[in-house]
Chains A and B, each alone.
Chain A
Amino acid sequence: MTHRESRRQTFYMYLFISPWLIGFLLLALYPILSSLYYSFTNYDIIHAPKFVGLANYNEMFHDELFWKSVTVTLKFTFISVPLQLLLALGFALLLNQKIPMRGFFRTAMYFPSMVSGVAMSLLWYWIFNPQIGLFNYILSWFGIHGPAWLMDPDTALYALIIMTFWTAGSGMILFLAGLQGVPASLVEAAKLDGAGRFKTFIHVVLPMISPVLLFQLIMGIIDSFQVFTQAFVMTQGGPNYSTWFYVYNLYTSAFKEYRAGYSSALAWVLLIVVMLFTAIIMKASNRFVHQEGGGRK
């Protein structure tokens, strides 16, 4: 590339990415850095921030509610994300066969994912109602007397976990796309070598779709660290703080108690934990995830 050509390329690159670049500096980098500063201050948004050193962090680590929110969020993440991925993969494998009504099944499985957000929370608020809801009605078909779900501190979090299974269809679509990328010739070859269904899946199919799995795992964890809607609409963090999610805690301290300094410290801990988790998974995945060799098609 000539010097002039290289300068031209650089010029146009920056021209085109400038909307994002400006946004990144103003709406991501600046907030991240300023919240690092706020996290060392006492700040109520109205009066000027007052420097207090590590007091916010110190308070956080001695705050029972902080630890409660960490426990709730981690428990939710570690149960719901793997199970949801497993379900999504299972559905995708079922549908990746030549089976009657495939199109119908695929659409039907994906359909619930269109009822996300508050609408989904309202629907499941009713489903989990112990007196009139659908869930305990279905359990009663099997002679089971269901618990009080959202109204019982012992079951509320599990109710919210069960609810996430309903949207496994969106992950299923991504897995199906990944499965389509597995060359039929590879599967045939494994068969000829005498590999059964299970072995073919473990040694041929699973490595081929491992990038999709990795992507969904990371995104799933990041998403479930940010649960807010369910807590806000269905439980208000209760009963007895059993669904006091991390972001709900952050929201409360920032916008109910107007403690911008303390909540900035919470935000930074969240940021560090997310980065840590991503780094660990990426590192571990180097050994397990199949990298597509060569360049693009």
Chain B
Amino acid sequence: MKPASTAPVSNLLTNPVRRRAKPDGVKIASFIALIVTTFLMLLPLFFMVSTSLKSSREMLRFPPTFFPESWSFGNYMEIFDTLQFGTLYKNSLLIAVVTVLGTLVSSALAAYGFARYRGRGNSFWFMLLLSTMMLPYPAIMVPQFILFSKLHWIDTFLPLIVPSFFGSAYNIFLLRQFFSTLPEELFDAGRIDGCSEFRMWYTIALPLSGPALATVAIFAFIYSWNDLLAPVLYLSSSDLFTLPIGMSSLTSSRFRIPPWHLLMVASVLAMVPIVTLFAIAQKQFVEGIVLTGLKS
């Protein structure tokens, strides 16, 4: 069964706001404005890819060439020598995947508790949850650091992945909104069949929440993949470094001239998992945004 509110998604694609068929001045102007802005938006991306394939000498020429004169595919090997790119990539992937799993399980549990049970204190804790959405990480990073250092977790992945197993406010909120739309009858039926509460969570609620869970997974992955501040605080051995730490060293003064072509190679490669995720889950993601974003 599909929740009723998927209707706006199809509207997004098929249902125009206005029905007039003849193109008018505003539309033509809009089209031209869109062409120009899209061109400007895509230009940096185009140069990111083309620059990543230029030789280090061609890089320094002004004006920049649109296409590489000689295609230096070797740049994509060079990055593995300059940075320990393989190790960085592996560490970041490992942390991101575990973080996504932790966020999904813990946030879905908490969201289900908030959405399905009218226990005492429900609205109090929910308000508290909403207010932690506004809690800036930098405001708690120092005492958290002290806490984790007392646990001897410094220079391990633990401070980066363990917190995800305690849910994240935004994702709990998003999932709660979704779980609230699931029809009561489903759970009544489950109860009659003698399902335990926990079983209803994973046999009824979770399978119906594909788009919402996909959205949470994407958010969690991107957050972890891009996070620079926490890894910089906690990791000091270079074989534990994450991709953002490694990449940020490319602008350091250790290079007399920044290795521009490698900056772009690293950026392109860092984008690959995110673009892949979107390609796989794009439809679900847009649905998830529509379903939950509207009610924010």
A residues near B (Cβ < 8 Å) are: 1, 6, 9-24, 26-28, 30-32, 34-35, 38, 45, 91, 94-101, 103-105, 108-109, 111-112, 114-127, 131-134, 137-138, 140, 166, 169, 173-174, 176-178, 180-182, 184, 187, 197, 211-212, 215, 218, 222, 225-226, 228-229, 232-234, 247, 250-251, 254-255, 260, 263-264, 267-268, 270-271, 274-275, 278, 296-297
Q: What are the interface flags for B94-134 relative to A under an 8 Å C-beta threshold, 1 for contact and 0 otherwise?
A: 00000000000011011011101111111001001100101
Point out the residue from B38, B137, B144 that lies within 8 Å of A226, measured CB to CB: B137
Q: List 29 A-B contacts (CB under 8 A).
A: A9-B117, A15-B197, A16-B112, A26-B166, A27-B144, A31-B143, A97-B16, A101-B34, A105-B38, A117-B270, A118-B244, A119-B271, A121-B248, A126-B260, A133-B64, A166-B44, A169-B41, A174-B289, A176-B12, A177-B12, A187-B18, A228-B138, A228-B229, A233-B228, A233-B247, A247-B229, A251-B229, A270-B139, A297-B5
CB neighbours of A138 from chain B (8 A)? 43
The answer to whether A94 touches B143, judged by C-beta atoms less than 8 angstroms apart, is no
Distance, CA A190 to CA B192, complexed state (A): 50
The answer to whether A122 touches B263, judged by C-beta atoms less than 8 angstroms apart, is yes
The chain B residue sitting closest to A174, CB to CB, is B293
Closest Cβ of chain B: how far from A112's Cβ, in Å?
A: 6
B247-291 with Cβ < 8 A to chain A: 247-248, 250-251, 258, 260, 263-264, 266-267, 270-271, 274-275, 278, 286, 289-290
Q: In this assembly, does B93 line the interface, its C-beta being within 8 Å of a C-beta of chain A?
A: no
CB neighbours of A225 from chain B (8 A)? 136
Given contacts A91-B37, A94-B30, A122-B247, 16 further A-B contacts (CB under 8 A): A10-B117, A11-B119, A12-B119, A19-B165, A26-B166, A31-B142, A31-B143, A32-B140, A98-B16, A99-B27, A108-B42, A114-B271, A115-B45, A134-B43, A226-B138, A270-B139
B residues near A (Cβ < 8 Å) are: 4-5, 8, 11-13, 15-18, 26-27, 30-31, 33-34, 37-38, 41-45, 47-48, 51, 59-64, 106-107, 109-110, 112-114, 116-122, 125, 128-129, 132, 134-147, 149, 163, 165-167, 172, 180-181, 197, 201, 222, 225-229, 232-233, 243-244, 247-248, 250-251, 258, 260, 263-264, 266-267, 270-271, 274-275, 278, 286, 289-290, 293-296
Distance, CA A120 to CA B33, complexed state (A): 25
The answer to whether A232 touches B60, judged by C-beta atoms less than 8 angstroms apart, is no
Interface centre among B225, B233, B271, by most chain A C-beta atoms within 10 angstroms, is B271
**Dominant SS among interface residues on chain A:** helix
Closest Cβ of chain A: how far from B123's Cβ, in Å?
A: 11
With A96-B17, A274-B134 given, is the CB distance from A17 to B110 under 8 Å? yes
The answer to whether A22 touches B166, judged by C-beta atoms less than 8 angstroms apart, is yes
With A12-B117, A13-B119, A125-B258 given, is the CB distance from A99 to B30 under 8 Å? yes
Closest Cβ of chain A: how far from B116's Cβ, in Å?
A: 8
Distance, CA A251 to CA B232, complexed state (A): 10
Point out the residue from B37, B138, B146, B244 that lies within 8 Å of A250, measured CB to CB: B138
With A119-B271, A184-B17 given, is the CB distance from A94 to B34 under 8 Å? yes
**Lowest 5 A-B CB distances belong to which pairs?**
A23-B166, A16-B113, A117-B226, A13-B119, A10-B119
Distance, CA A103 to CA B146, complexed state (A): 48
Distance, CA A275 to CA B136, complexed state (A): 10
